Structure 1
Amino acid sequence: MSHRIDRVDAELADLVERVGDDDLTPCLYFLAITVMSAVDAGDDTEVTAALTELRERGSVAPSARLQVNSLLSQYEQRAFAARRRGDHAARERAFFQARAINCVAHVIGADRGGRPARDRLRDAAYEGAVACRGPVAVRSVLTRYAG
């Protein structure tokens, strides 16, 4: 079965498959932290709270997932509005920040509840690679956990 990650970098897809089942949760968490830092997506309290909850409890409450999705929508709206204004720099900044927030959304399961961790990792790795404008940062995280 083909996944979006296959279109970005075949090596990333292979690394996702090689992450051990016991390492999926820490890998997802570290990927989100890495991408948010690399993109400088800001210090949004919704993201910080969701990632703290994930680290401390291993899961994220539905209300926190909803807040992250709302934040994602805000960034996507900013990108759209900037494009309409012809502000290329603002559009690009908001677009890549939205991709970083979407990476977090996949990590915490805010995209669609109940998806297996490996599926979430595939999509988070894809969004992370787009957010970082290339696969290097994502590859470094996956390599650490791929064994």
Structure 2
Amino acid sequence: MSLLVLFTSRMLSVSGRVGRRAAPGLSPLLTPTSPGLTRVLAVGKKDLTNFPILNEDELEEQFVRGSGPGGQATNKTSNCVVLKHIPTGIVVKCHQTRSVDINRKRAREIMREKLDVEYKGELSEIIVKKKESVLRKQEKRRKVNEKLERKRLFKETLTEDS
């Protein structure tokens, strides 16, 4: 069970479940900060927290029918979320689950990641973590190749001695 805490200038709600609403008509991930301005809180991304805050006034949201396997559940329900960030023109489409609320949350997470890359470029947390991952893989591969080379040389010396 995860604990969701919503903050603005003062604490609004503490909910024991993610599905419970903080206020009527508000998603648990959306918190009012001032009239007409809503921001999204990141939930679950502890190591990647410096993403830009989404301004709901800058987002255009549509619900469309998804595509792919799923039959009637996919073909007759509009649970695919399409988010467009108006200032940058970035479009995100999310149809990972059958739940519109979960798709809305995931679309906003993806949008925050894309905006982070857009604004910070090479200094983005995502790009830095990917580079670190690539370097770790290269180092691991180098060590494996060295070990294989030592084994090959050891076998050669054994065959020469006998």
The answer to which structure, 1 or 2, has the higher relative contact order (CA under 8 A, 6+ apart) is 1
Highest Rg: 1 or 2? 2
Instruction: Identify whether the pair has TM-score above 0.5, normalized to the shorter chain.
Output: no
The TM-score normalised by the length of structure 1 is: 0.26
Q: Which structure's residues are more often helix, by fraction?
A: 1
Q: Which structure's residues are more often strand, by fraction?
A: 2
